[in-house]
């Protein structure tokens, strides 16, 4: 299950497990979820005939019909609100938001209604909705098309947030999110959707790890990198580069962003004594700040250096020509590792 450096495709003679990109794995996951449960519906702008702007819902309307894969008018607030109504009547809607920044017209329905119905009904009402949000930068687009808005939602109790970073997780985590009785915001690293070099064998007969759990992807001793979504690749690459220089880095993929599963991070920090949190989101009041706060509370006597962060900037997401400055990359991560090691 490790999103490890590309290994040779494993093909056994008996199973025909396919080699999938993250995008295709999500598509297969939606198909499997719809086959398993007739209450699962997909809705969003251009998800039907077009198969979604990123083609994640490709072919599903053709195979499951217009009553299960619903094209909607352009109206995010209406999409989320409708999904809530469907959910309280027993359906399991999966809403697609085309790009991160377009979730905001639906923000009110998510934060004011979706997050609170279970609490407000003293636990009587369940709202098992998944909102799929392609997020993050690196595709040469501008604000609204490259943002990492996760901490705007993690600040809201009642929502679960998860993010996948590899095809195997994409396949299982999306199905688990759809089966979950709580609302789940599912953050997809859009720049990796169709990256052929990340293809993995996805075995639908395997048994997946639990959804709401972080995972150590690579073990190391000198420092810990904790990250999620698109930055996982950057951190793994940094760990490989550091290993060549003789520095052993541990890499943890958070997978669940809210509530956070930090026990594996605490354990790691007790071993390495150093933590670098990496995310594309702006740093102020973000997931990385939350991690830093909790790690210093839990691991104070183990820390050899302050918790450091490599993040986006506290600015609007910049256009293409400034992206290279904005996004955490190998150099910034390695530089920060050096700072932690020489503190």
Partner 1 sequence: MTETLSTPAAGELNAEGLLDAYRTMRTIRVFEERVHDEFATGEIPGFVHLYAGEEASATGVCSHLDARDSIASTHRGHGHCIAKGVDPVEMMAEIYGKRTGSCHGKGGSMHIADLSKGMLGANGIVGGGPPLICGTALAAKQQNNGGVGVAFFGDGASNQGTTLESLNLASVWNLPAIFVAENNGYAEATASTWSVAADNIADRAAGFGMPGVIVDGFDFFAVHEAAGEAISRAREGGGPTLIEVKFTRYFGHFEGDQQAYRADEVANARDKLDCLKRFRARVTESGQLESSALDTVDSEVAALIESAVTEAKAAPKPTGVDLETDVYVSY
Which residues contact partner 1 (rule: CB under 8 A)?
A: 45-46, 49-50, 53, 71, 73-75, 77-78, 101-102, 104-105, 140-145, 313-316, 318-322, 325-326
Smallest gap from residue 277 Cβ to partner 1 (A):
21
Shorter beta-carbon distance to partner 1: residue 22 or 80: 80
Name the E strands within the chain.
19-20, 40-44, 69-71, 92-96, 130-135, 160-163, 184-189, 200-201, 215-218, 223-227, 249-253, 256-258, 275-282, 308-312
Shorter beta-carbon distance to partner 1: residue 325 or 343: 325
Shorter beta-carbon distance to ligand TPP: residue 98 or 154: 98
Angle in degrees, 0-180, between the axes of helices 287-298 and 263-272, rounded to the nearest 10: 60
d(CA 342, CA 320) in angstroms, rounded, equals: 34
Smallest gap from residue 103 Cβ to ligand TPP (A):
8
Binds 4: which of ligand TPP, partner 1, none (CB < 5-8 Å by kind): none
Smallest gap from residue 271 Cβ to partner 1 (A):
36
The pair phi, psi for residue 297, each rounded to 5°, is: -70, -45
Distances (CA, A) of 55 to 143, 190, 197: 21, 11, 19
**In this structure, what token pair is assigned to residue 185?**
């915001």
Shorter beta-carbon distance to partner 1: residue 46 or 338: 46
Binds 209: which of partner 1, ligand TPP, none (CB < 5-8 Å by kind): none
d(CA 74, CA 214) in angstroms, rounded, equals: 35
Residues that bind ligand TPP (CB under 6 A): 45, 74, 76, 98, 102, 105
Q: Identify the DSSP state of 146.
A: S
**In this structure, what token pair is assigned to residue 140?**
């040469």
Task: Give the residue carrying structure tokens 């690749």.
Answer: 233
Smallest gap from residue 206 Cβ to ligand TPP (A):
36
Binds 316: which of ligand TPP, partner 1, none (CB < 5-8 Å by kind): partner 1
Q: Which residues contact 203 (CB under 8 A, 6 or more apart)?
A: 15, 17
Binds 58: which of ligand TPP, partner 1, none (CB < 5-8 Å by kind): none
A 10 A CB-CB count for 71 gives 15
Is residue 145 annotated as part of the catalytic site, yes or no? yes
| Residue in 145, 155, 194, 335 annotated catalytic | 145
Smallest gap from residue 318 Cβ to partner 1 (A):
6
Distance of CA 233 to the CA centre of its chain: 13
Binds 68: which of partner 1, ligand TPP, none (CB < 5-8 Å by kind): none
Q: Do residues 68 and 41 make contact, with C-beta atoms less than 8 angstroms apart? A: yes
Shorter beta-carbon distance to ligand TPP: residue 76 or 280: 76
Shorter beta-carbon distance to partner 1: residue 71 or 237: 71
Catalytic (active-site) positions:
145
């Amino acid at each position: 299950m490790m999103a490890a450096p590309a290994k040779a495709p494993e093909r056994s003679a008996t199973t025909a497990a396919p080699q999938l990109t993250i995008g295709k794995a999500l598509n297969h996951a939606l198909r499997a979820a719809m086959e398993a449960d007739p209450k699962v519906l997909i809705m969003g702008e251009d998800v039907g005939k077009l198969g979604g702007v990123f083609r994640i819902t490709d072919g599903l309307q053709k195979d499951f019909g217009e009553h299960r894969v619903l094209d909607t008018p352009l109206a995010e607030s209406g999409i989320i609100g409708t999904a809530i109504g469907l959910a309280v009547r027993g359906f399991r809607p999966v809403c697609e938001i085309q790009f991160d920044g377009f979730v905001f017209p639906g923000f009110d329905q998510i934060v004011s209604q979706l997050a609170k119905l279970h609490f407000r009904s003293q636990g009587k009402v369940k709202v098992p909705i998944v909102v799929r949000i392609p997020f993050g930068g690196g595709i040469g687009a501008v604000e609204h098309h490259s943002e990492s808005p996760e901490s705007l939602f993690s600040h809201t109790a009642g929502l679960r947030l998860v993010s996948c970073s590899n095809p195997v997780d994409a396949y299982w985590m999306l199905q688990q999110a759809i089966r979950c009785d709580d609302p789940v915001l599912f953050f997809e690293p859009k720049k990796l959707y169709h990256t052929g070099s990340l293809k993995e064998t996805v075995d639908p007969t395997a048994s997946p790890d639990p959804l709401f759990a972080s995972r150590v992807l690579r073990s190391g001793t000198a420092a810990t990198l904790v990250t999620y979504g698109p930055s996982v690749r950057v951190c793994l690459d940094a760990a490989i580069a550091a290993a060549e220089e003789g520095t052993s880095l541990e890499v943890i993929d958070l997978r669940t962003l809210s509530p956070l599963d930090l026990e594996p991070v605490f354990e790691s920090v007790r071993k390495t004594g150093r933590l670098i949190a990496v995310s594309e989101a702006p740093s102020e009041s973000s997931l990385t700040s939350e991690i830093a706060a909790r790690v210093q509370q839990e691991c104070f006597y183990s820390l050899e250096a302050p918790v450091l962060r490599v993040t986006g900037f506290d600015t609007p997401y910049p256009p293409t020509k400034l992206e290279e400055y904005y996004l955490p990359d190998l150099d910034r991560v390695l530089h920060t590792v050096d700072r932690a090691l020489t503190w």
